[in-house]
Every structure is written in structure tokens, then in C-alpha cells.
Amino acid sequence: MLERSHIPEAPWWIVEAVDKKRARLNCIHHLLGQVPYGEVDRPAIALPERVYHPDYLRAPQAKEIFVPAVY
């Protein structure tokens, strides 16, 4: 399958995965290396003054939807 479908437009990559943590990090490093990075010129943004509402109450949120703070 790899031999027949490995073409320049859609290459296959093989990740050695004896150590899963290193395999994932190597895969992420490789994928990010494929992205052409460069500075993007953006126009300056002018934000309006923040409006404070003293009567605003935040609705309670379900604990299941929060991502735990690990670090």
C-alpha cells in the first residue's frame, strides 16, 4: 500500500513508536516542520474602552466541561 500510494502530493511518513511519548513528540515536531512559518503583517487594532456592568452575574458552569489545570 505504501509503495503504491506514496506520491509527492500525498507522502506517507512512518513514525518509530517503541517509545510512545517520543513517537508523539517526533510526529508533532515533523508535522510542525512541514508548515511554512513567517511573520504576517497585520494592521493595528483600536479597541474601544471596556464597559463595566456592576449588575452582571456570571452563570454557574458545569464542572465536567472544564479542562483540568495540570501545569
- Cell 504576517 -> residue: 40
Residue 11 domain-assigned (yes or no): yes
Q: d(Cα 27, Cα 29) in Å, to the nearest integer?
A: 5
Q: d(Cα 24, Cα 32) in Å, to the nearest integer?
A: 12
3-state secondary structure of 10: strand
Q: d(Cα 30, Cα 19) in Å, to the nearest integer?
A: 16
Per-residue model confidence as pLDDT tens digits over 9-18:
888 888 989 9
Contact 29, 39 (CB under 8 A): no
Residue 12 domain-assigned (yes or no): yes
Residue 25 domain-assigned (yes or no): yes
Residue 2 domain-assigned (yes or no): yes
Containing structural domain, residue 14: 1-37
Residue 67 domain-assigned (yes or no): no
Number of structural domains in the chain: 1
Residue 45 domain-assigned (yes or no): no
Per-residue model confidence as pLDDT tens digits over 2-58:
778 888 888 888 898 999 999 999 999 999 988 999 999 999 999 999 999 999 898
Residue type, 70: V
